[in-house]
Structure 1
Amino acid sequence: MYKMLIAEDVRTVRETLVHAIPWAKMGVSLIGAVGNGEEALARLKDEDADLLLTDIGMPKMNGLELIEAAQAGNPDIRCIILSGLSEFEHARKAIRLQVTDYVLKPVDPAEIERVVSNAVKEIGQERQSAGREDHPSSQNEEKLPHLADLLPPGEEGGNLKKKKLVDQAVGYVRRNYARRELSLSDVAAEVGLSEKYMNLLVKEVTGSTINHLIIRFRMEEAARLLKDPAVRIYEICDSVGYADLDHFRESFKKQHGLTPTEYRNRYS
């Protein structure tokens, strides 16, 4: 049996999807039918799925954000979009995310059955040729080394794709933290993920949000520069991306427990 999760915020549509389609006959086992993207992502962390059938317009986390998150955790998952939103931008992004199919509402059980049956057939053929037919829900996950010194002690990174995305985001922050206008949206655009999922992914792997990482890198550089008494504090403030000296002092004290002047007096 191939495992499938349904994410649909409209209860009547969700119940129709669960009860009006002969899933078992198609070789599909439902692992759940949830009402928003966050619930769906939590379920996928608890149990692997081969298929994800999701609406686009959902509260908390929309369907496209859910697909990004699901694919980062399991690159092999097949995703099918069910939505009344037929605008070109959604379809174009769905193509970029390599969505298996796109079905418009109102729900037609026969159409859903056709699309899912095709997806199941494709999965079966791929796994048969790869010698994986007996393990329809297998997922290879490696235990990875720590992500520089950002991972909490004793904890391991996620799967390889997830680590690469976080490496890319952290590397971009490290190279650009001195840019005064640097923000979460810049980092998300660089990596090619939504802001919400980018922040969620980095927080999961490193324990810090993007904004906290920006501040951390700035304060580490400020501490290094403060050890040189020839560099003025206002110059350090400007060089690490702060326009306001009071804001810089407040951020530095929060990070190091000392004001910049106190830190300089102690360590220079």
Structure 2
Amino acid sequence: MIHVMIADDEPLILKNLQGIIDWESLGCQVVATAGNGLDALEILRSKRIDLLLTDISMPGMTGVEVLKEIYTWEDRPLAILLSGYDEFTYAREGLKYSALDYFLKPIDYEELETCIEGAVKTIHQHRREAYDRERQRIYDQVVTGAESAFESDFYAALMIRHGEGKVDQWLQQLPHQLYVYVLDSNLTLALIKGTEREAVEQVAHQLASDGSQHFKETRWIVADAETGPGAARKAADEAKRLLKYTSLTDAPVITAALVTDTYAAKENAFETIDKATAYVKEHFKEDLSIEEVAEHAGISVSYFSQLFKQKHQITFLEYVRAERIEHACMLLKTSTLETYRIAEIVGYTDQRYFSQVFRKHMNMTPSQYRKAHSG
């Protein structure tokens, strides 16, 4: 929406300008009115105004003086002057201070509406140009590491790992202050900019929630808002860091809090597996079952089996077998014990089965291994 302010000391003109012009169809909203130049200037200082319609002759401060006062503002509004027949000199001075046009009273509202249409197009063009400049500035900061100035705004970052869906196009159509960058064919970065931390973080989380439902098989990484020097880059770097932890969880939306909780849970689980592994090393010579070790660890057999394989990359039975064979190899090299006694020591009651397992594991029989490692 284009924000409009009307300043005129004639109440009838104020009323007509608000009611006769079809502001909504022009994509505009009259957000403020003023009856004199001083009030108009105060409103301009406190509100975002894109288009100013102002009378020239007003008490306290003229419309031209208002334009002169705001002339150096970087984001000053476009202005259209309204004047009487005897104020052409003032109108011309107003044009010097970048007034878009002026209209003589009584106002031709059709002509004024045509002028406003042109002003709206100009404002949108200025917005696109400003957006492109800001997008490039942020890109230089985030991607190329350009020197970054202090940021008073907040930036929250989204990193999206996706497939063939047009995630970047979907993001660019949304009514938020977003800066979208396609990093590669499957990775998109979006930065949300705003003046309040809570607001930009809320937008980021909502976009991730909506996007993960709209695009299946996507991962949405949400980094908390940053401000100050290099804020955009800090937010993007945090999103990249969190991207590394996607293997920890199947959740479509990943946050720092989720990573911390999930990582802590995994760490605690793996500590449990470490204790269970120590128990196996102490008791592998016995008739050891996975049920016994899982009970010792205090978790279910299925969960224990899953965690054990994640930790060691082999199954529980394969691990026990490897421990037994490793100890058997040590005894074959350092003792003269018979093979059947070594089999019993490492947990096998059947010598023939022990020899089969040993051969499969070491690609030679126990006797061949002893001979190869004797002397």
TM bucket, shorter chain: 0.3 to 0.5
User: TM-score, length-normalised on structure 1?
Assistant: 0.47
Higher relative contact order (CA 8 A, sep 6+): 1
Larger radius of gyration: 2
Which of the pair is proportionally richer in strand? 2
